[in-house]
A = this chain, B = another copy of it.
Amino acid sequence: MEELIQKGNLAKTAALSLSSVSADTKRDALMYVADSLIKNTDYILNENNKDLEAAKANGMSPGLIDRLTLNKERIETIAQGIRQIAELPDPIGEVVSQWQRPNGLLISEVRVPLGVCGIIYEARPNVTADAAALCLKSGNACILRCGKEAHKSSMAITNVFRDAIKSVGLSEDCVALVEDTSRDSAVALMKLNDYLDVIIPRGGAGLIRSVVENATVPAIETGTGNCHVYVDADANLQMAKEIVLNAKTSRPSVCNAEEKLLVHKDVAESFLPDMLSALLKKNVEIVGDSKVCEIFPAATPATEDDWATEYLDLKIAVKVVSSVDEAINHINKYNSRHSEAIVTEDAENAQKFLDSIDAAAVYVNASTRFTDGFEFGFGAEIGISTQKLHARGPMGLKALTSTKYVIRGNGQIR
């Protein structure tokens, strides 16, 4: 695809020049981008209006319309986000480790940018600014490809971004948005191995699956969260209730929300009626195994599919288990390797759960909702990796870097 090869070439050249730009210059550039976005609010909102009109004409759902909508306040929030990224410590140039070999070679492992990042996302214009800022801060050029419904808004933001960094002396080609919004351009971007060092999807399960299946560029799988809370026999039941309510209902549409509740049989009868009534009051639909339906008749029977499904909605599947081992086996069978929690006062069971659960984040006595770059203190987040290669869990700036070995000798041969 001609457009991608052209953008790939420009991005590769921009990335090489950006890799040696000073921390201060990158910081100042992002500050100027934030100012420029606010200065160009009218232009951006005008373009966003065109997207919104088309979306409404095509019958887009209210939830998606909301995610697509920009306004003065949201642009200020986007600018504020960029300023926060600007102020983060620069990850590039850090000497990660250094040692001397017996032959005198001095080996240093130095943190460097990845190079050119491809970011594929959906109809959310704010991701344009956020992803571009994270890439620039970590010294990477980026090629963005957004859903066609947000293309005019994203192009406006990209144009402002490019003009701003160009006016402070950086290459505008550090940031590019793919103009072709066909599905073909997404797949072509996933296979742009000669130009991209990584491809990161930011969006729903369908997008992520498409990247995993189609990408030949190294990809980072992000985001699906079929998260469990297991309430052990020795749990503080009041704490358990608060954690479950929070994990399930505080923001059910996000990947770190709870989707499943497992309860030890010894506390099922004392815990479930009160717990499930509280969830019902929050309009949570409850499905459960036969024991749960027996204890709490408002629950309907769960199917095999329920255990593997990420609802992203006010719905929960509940199961009674006979031991922490059964809970662990169930979770390792059905989870998506995202976030899992045990509520218990039993230190041995807690340790067993932490050791045995295969997930990016494993909690004792806390809500799964904390799996988040900001909550972890990273100051930013490009996504939450559910794979084990390169980065796992919330990805901050460091996840957008690699290392290289710098070796200094005085004539060593082998």
What residues of chain A have their CB less than 8 Å away from a CB belonging to chain B? 16, 19-20, 99, 101, 105, 107, 114-115, 193, 197-198, 212-213, 216, 218-221, 236, 239, 242-243, 245-247, 250, 332, 350, 354-356, 358-367, 369-371, 375-377, 387-390, 392-393, 402-414
Contacts and interface: CB of A to CB of B under 8 A. Distances in A.
A115 B358 CA distance: 9
Contacts of A246: 413-414
Contact of A198 (B239, B388, B409): B388
A64 to B, nearest CB: 25
A72 to B, nearest CB: 28
Contacts of A365: 408-412
Given A115-B358, A193-B212, A362-B407, 10 more contacts: A218-B387, A218-B388, A354-B406, A364-B408, A366-B407, A367-B413, A367-B414, A369-B413, A389-B390, A393-B404
Contact of A363 (B359, B392, B393, B407): B407
Contact of A360 (B193, B197, B392, B404): B404
A404 B369 contact: no
Contact of A389 (B99, B114, B193, B250): B114
5 contacts: A198-B388, A218-B389, A246-B414, A370-B414, A392-B404
A58 B256 CA distance: 57
Contacts of A410: 239, 365-366
A7 to B, nearest CB: 18
Given A107-B376, A389-B197, A236 B332 contact: no
A101 B16 contact: no
B375 A414 contact: yes
Contacts of A366: 105, 407-413
Sorted from nearest, which 3 A-B pairs have the closest CB atoms?
A366-B409, A246-B413, A388-B402
Interface centre among A218, A247, A350, A410 (most CB of B within 10 A): A218
B198 A101 contact: no
Q: Which of A250, A367, A389 has the most CB of B within 10 A?
A: A389
B409 A363 contact: yes
Given A105-B370, A375-B414, A360 B408 contact: no
A220 B389 contact: yes
Contact of A393 (B371, B375, B405): B405
Nearest to A372: B414
A101 B376 CA distance: 7
B367 A242 contact: no
A394 B17 CA distance: 26
A115 B363 CA distance: 20
B359 A404 contact: yes
B114 A407 contact: no
A376 B197 CA distance: 25
Contact of A411 (B236, B376, B393): B236
Contacts of A107: 376-377
A237 to B, nearest CB: 12
Contacts of A218: 218-219, 221, 387-389
A366 B412 CA distance: 5
A356 B411 CA distance: 21
Contacts of A360: 404-405
Contacts of A247: 413
A379 to B, nearest CB: 13
Contacts of A412: 365-367, 370
B362 A405 contact: yes
A373 to B, nearest CB: 12
Nearest to A251: B414
Given A375-B101, A404-B360, A389 B388 contact: no
